[in-house]
Structure 1
Amino acid sequence: MSTLTETDHQERRPVRYDRTGPVAVVELHRPHRLNAVTDEVSRELAVAVRRAVAEGARAVVLTGAGRAFCSGHDLKEPAPAEDPLEARERLERLQDVTRTIKRSPVPVIAAVHGWAVGAGCEWALACDLVVAAESTRFTFPEVGVGLTVTNGVSQLLAAVLGPQRAKYLLMTGTGFGAEEARDWGLVNEVVPAGEHLRRALELAGRLVGRPPLALALAKESLDRGLGAALEEALATEVDLSMRVVAAGTPDRSGAVPQHERRTP
């Protein structure tokens, strides 16, 4: 009987990790589900980013396999039976990805394509830099499927766009494209289809050539002002999500997430 090698295990995992020199690449790898988020994905994604830092990587690139960056929560996966404490812990593991990205002393660059939906969109926007393929579509469908935002985006989005536009996007679920995201300050660069990862790796290579302490302090100085507000937003989002849990199974009738209908 053959035994599973480390490569075999890597193939089966929903998050892949690779480090070449000073740059680590963390890849969401559930292409058959457009990299939809599960509890296991949340756990492994946070672990992978922390691993990159622990191993001495000086930049991290976060990307997705297949046709999309991330299609948000996997609504087709049966929700586990859980008590309120378990639900809260699962939400906090989801948020741990945002915390890990924000607390990383090295820059994290999102290389985004296809769909960036819900939690996937929130994780991308938590990164220090975002490179998006020109066909990328961003959306926050949570309200439409009876959920709430959970990854600090209630603070992060409003800080960049202002409360009115942030409310509009979150409350209506209206999607927006890569060029809009760039014009609004949510994305740094828009590149042709298929070039997002290559360009993100180029940026990572540029950053690792800069003095590491100065780079880390630049990131910290810009993020420190967000720290307390972000933690407050994360705590508030968990509390509001728990109200959804207490209310029972959300009514998702008539709410088909746009990314389930077509691929950009």
Structure 2
Amino acid sequence: MQLSDYQDKYAGIRFARADGVLQMTIHTRGGPALWGSAPESLHRELGDAFLDLARDAENRVVVLTGTGDSFIAASDPTQSYPEDSLAAMWPRIYDEGVALLNNLLAVPVPMIAAVNGPALIHAEIAVLCDIVLAAETAEFADLAHVPSGGAIPGDGVHVVWPMLLGPNRGRYFLLTGERIQAAEARQIGVVAEVLSPEALLPRARVLAAQLAKLPLPLLRHTRMLLTKDLRRRMFDELHSGLAHEALATLVPRT
């Protein structure tokens, strides 16, 4: 796999590489990234994209960031779903949900998240990276599940946030839609550094360049060690979490 094989493959992801550092920028129609689950959405594309870049031996470090003033702060109102029913849609959503986080964790080199603004929907994509940097304007929440009244938090967020925040605050975070500002996220260990928006990507690139100079076997084996527990947790809990989410969606509400 080479960069040219996937550089222009995805509608919502831009790739650029220099000196072994691959920058992966998510967007929606060129603007800030919006979340959705229809075909050609980030839900559909990210799992495949992580798999593609994992197969590219020229990648030594990955920098993941958003576009404009937000990481993922809202849903995409323009998306339509081709399936006739939720029952027809869920097999696809299940497969994409498994691929999204498992393939992220299968990337064999260090990942740096540069969270350029609010990460209110699927913020776990950023905080699962090895180094998490945040702009001063960033905040973290899970608004796509319980707070929206639309979904069970079973697509990996039920693993990530209780692990990072502790069991009690993690459950509170998922049930209430609590927003954690960048400064507090650093204090509690979710974020490593908080920077001005202008300094965010330059700092990510400095750290990435430092890592990229190291021997590739060191980078790969370190990444595998540092993600081992995360991969085990996802193996144990992601499939059943998505199954619970599907059940709650498909069973008539009372």
1:120-131 alignment runs, 5 A limit = 121-131=123-133
In structure 2, the CA distance between the partners of 1:74 and 1:231, relative to structure 1 (3 Å rule), is: farther
Q: Does 1:232 align with 2:230?
A: no
In structure 2, the CA distance between the partners of 1:61 and 1:150, relative to structure 1 (3 Å rule), is: farther
Distance apart, 1:38 and its partner CA: 2.7
1:41-60 alignment runs, 5 A limit = 41-55=42-56, 56-60=58-62
Where does residue 14 of structure 1 map in the other structure? 12
Where does residue 162 of structure 1 map in the other structure? 166
Q: Please give the per-residue CA displacement for 1:99-121, whole angstroms capped at 9, x wherever unaligned.
A: 112111101111112210122x0
Indicate if the aligned counterparts of 2:156 and 2:241 stay in contact, CA closer than 8 A: yes
Indicate if the aligned counterparts of 2:20 and 2:212 stay in contact, CA closer than 8 A: yes
Where does residue 105 of structure 1 map in the other structure? 108
TM-score by length of 2: 0.85
For residue 107 of structure 2, what is the amino acid of its counterpart?
S
Aligned-pair identity (%)? 28
Q: Please give the per-residue CA displacement for 1:70-121, whole angstroms capped at 9, x wherever unaligned.
A: 12543563454335253132233134221112111101111112210122x0
Where does residue 36 of structure 2 map in the other structure? 38
In structure 2, the CA distance between the partners of 1:247 and 1:32, relative to structure 1 (3 Å rule), is: farther
Where does residue 136 of structure 2 map in the other structure? 134
Where does residue 67 of structure 2 map in the other structure? 65
Distance apart, 1:32 and its partner CA: 7.1
TM-score by length of 1: 0.82
Indicate if the aligned counterparts of 2:12 and 2:29 stay in contact, CA closer than 8 A: no
Distance apart, 1:219 and its partner CA: 2.1
Where does residue 224 of structure 2 map in the other structure? 220
Where does residue 26 of structure 2 map in the other structure? 28
Where does residue 258 of structure 1 map in the other structure? none
Q: SS of the residue aligned with 1:110? A: strand
Q: SS of the residue aligned with 1:194? A: helix
Q: Does 1:190 align with 2:188?
A: no
Q: Does 1:177 align with 2:181?
A: yes
Where does residue 94 of structure 2 map in the other structure? 91
Moved more, 45-54 or 55-64: 45-54
In structure 2, the CA distance between the partners of 1:206 and 1:219, relative to structure 1 (3 Å rule), is: same
Question: In structure 2, what is the Cα distance between the partners aligned to 1:54 and 1:74?
Answer: 30
In structure 2, the CA distance between the partners of 1:136 and 1:217, relative to structure 1 (3 Å rule), is: same
Q: SS of the residue aligned with 1:61? A: strand
For residue 47 of structure 1, what is the amino acid of its counterpart?
D
Distance apart, 1:10 and its partner CA: 4.5
For residue 11 of structure 2, what is the amino acid of its counterpart?
R
RMSD over aligned CA atoms reads: 2.6
Q: Please give the per-residue CA displacement for 1:11-70, whole angstroms capped at 9, x wherever unaligned.
A: 982111222230111111116773112342233223333333333210111111122111
1:136-151 alignment runs, 5 A limit = 136-141=138-143, 142-146=145-149, 147-151=151-155
- How many matched pairs? 242
The counterpart of 2:208, out of the listed 204, 211, 218, is 204
Question: In structure 2, what is the Cα distance between the partners aligned to 1:197 and 1:65?
Answer: 11
Distance apart, 1:229 and its partner CA: 2.0
Indicate if the aligned counterparts of 2:98 and 2:239 stay in contact, CA closer than 8 A: no
Indicate if the aligned counterparts of 2:54 and 2:106 stay in contact, CA closer than 8 A: no
Question: In structure 1, what is the Cα distance between the partners aligned to 2:89 and 2:81?
Answer: 12
In structure 2, the CA distance between the partners of 1:36 and 1:150, relative to structure 1 (3 Å rule), is: farther
For residue 86 of structure 1, what is the amino acid of its counterpart?
M
In structure 2, the CA distance between the partners of 1:118 and 1:128, relative to structure 1 (3 Å rule), is: same
